[in-house]
A and B are shown apart, each in its own frame.
Chain A
């Protein structure tokens, strides 16, 4: 039996595998309190602008999907939110980014606290070349958690959160790289969740996975609603429709990425205001 199929069966068999609870369906599920506020965000690499004039508010507890064709700055947008752009050579970020009212771009900012608050999941699963347990445990230790019991409890809870606990509980010390793609990605999510963030950034988390693993991760994302603020970049329009509360549509005009439309997911898809949006969501262009 392929590992991914086994995943599916186990999950179906033990509905209490998740501590995140029931999947909440339906569009309206959150009170619109802004969690992340962006004003006139501009991103450039070595002088070349990739994103310009982006202003939007991302609401607390909601899943916001960033959609649009490749290359219009969605990943760059995401990278600004946790200051990953600091690592990218030649990058320059202008504009205001506020998370819970605090300016992210402030040089006096406690970046460590920021990283604890904002977790990031990458397109290609990147578990460290360590054991499964150590992958989750190590960041916890580095952030100051020392008590063995606390650590174990968090590890277990994180693995429960992502539905991996039943599958890996008896091989926590096996290398993480031996897991299947879907399991690795879920491990990365568990690793991020263990730090108890309030925001989760996901950059096309399912695109490198096969359909079954992808379905798993998607289902996991749906459970994150209300507990976390999720910003997810996705090329899969159907996925965005299924998963997101809000959607932001990006497009390239004059070789620069711009935010074309932002609103509730359902209305963006069913009755878009902008003609470009309409064209994109019905698959005419992009």
Chain B
């Protein structure tokens, strides 16, 4: 690999680089940037050996991830930035990436490209070059491109861009070593980074330069390169405009005049002129460096034909949505009973217990541990396995495509289905994934819907209370009610929550054959993080029940709640305490009822109607503590409180009605 392809292309080049000396003792920082779903996370995992979640759908890296790499004696910090198409619109990911690159000054940026969609990817590369960062281009997925009959001339691309280019097949680790070597080289000599200036059309270019000069002479660039600021001002970027107007009104006014000139000349708004010309640049480069031969239809395209077909598409989509639930439901139930049989000798939980403190603690810890192993692990592992497979294949975007019109009924578009499906597993990551939605309102609507999604904990409740003691049919009915509630409340929320919704704009990536190692790694990473949260809370919670029981405060607490539990919901008074504990984690309702009633056969203590009502109220009445916390983090405490209140009200209304109706039937 030639170090820093230096350029003879005629250019009025200026080496504007931050002049920090590459001290050898210092850790290098290398950032990964690029379009959504081009394989940044795959490269990241290869470099750092960590297991950042990978998914074949755009937007799963919402926050930047960090990892360490030891490369030939050097310590390198690797940063995985969220995938974006441009630095221009104001989605959260774009701002995260752009500020990171401008202000944290990574020593090198690896721009990962999807070789099979070169032109579109180069549109972003050009913007990185405009940011004047020390750059290495990683031409990834050359194998996928080859299947599509596309070959890219790496040397030519290097020349056109003026930055080193390494071609890789990241999923198989091909080219990663060379990529790292090149990136380190670039990071170490970043001051000599010199490249041809990619120029816009003359009318635009003249004005960019004029404005950049003005910015330079006023000295108001604030971390970003002047030329980049000039382009952004001409594009009317609201963020940059705001920050500039506080520094120099004159520059902003001048940019407006220049933009007006451009738009008058082209009879087109200035931001559109710039986007068009940037694409013309990308198109020119792509046409120059790639060769396209005609090939036969790939497997991916044939699968795509089925997955988006007007009939089969719905079949596959429903298959994914329902299949994932059923799979979890059946395999989970099977594993759970196997495990609890195997561990039955370990069930010494005796709640009518008045022993020493040590005894209480021991009992609690034991109960918690057993509950975790028999209730959570069997459901979560199969779910995460299947989810990883679904995510990795790329079918999720097709489901989103097919279900778009249905999601419109609750004010969301198809993409919202992706976090909703993640919500089957656990609401917390699902609510974070809502950031793939464009507007705040859509994020809020999606998050609200997710707080009702049948997560693993709710599945456990439904299985443990209803499927086990009433019947599988009733358990499925509860799922149906839950989904109906999501729909009805979604419509109500749509009326209440103000703001705008955008429509669906989503890239549909090629199908991939899920890789075994990715799936297992991913499942393990997710299970591990759940174990860290679940087991301590279980054990602590279980100990708490024991202590409360021993101290004797359970009865007064549940008595205080009896107007709700006994009168309105028709449940035994003691369930009040279950619901209080269930706030921490929903499975506690099941776990604690075993402790409170002193038997695993709950049918002895609760009628079928009570079991169903308890499960229904249990799944609806409040998002668990972790979910409330993530809601507060994403939307603020007031919103989190409002959503929780809505959940509580829904549970009371639905629970009360169900109790009365079921009493007539059962």
Q: Tell me if chain B binds chain A.
A: no
Which A residues contact B (CB, under 8 angstroms)? none
Chain B residues within 8 Å of A, Cβ to Cβ: none
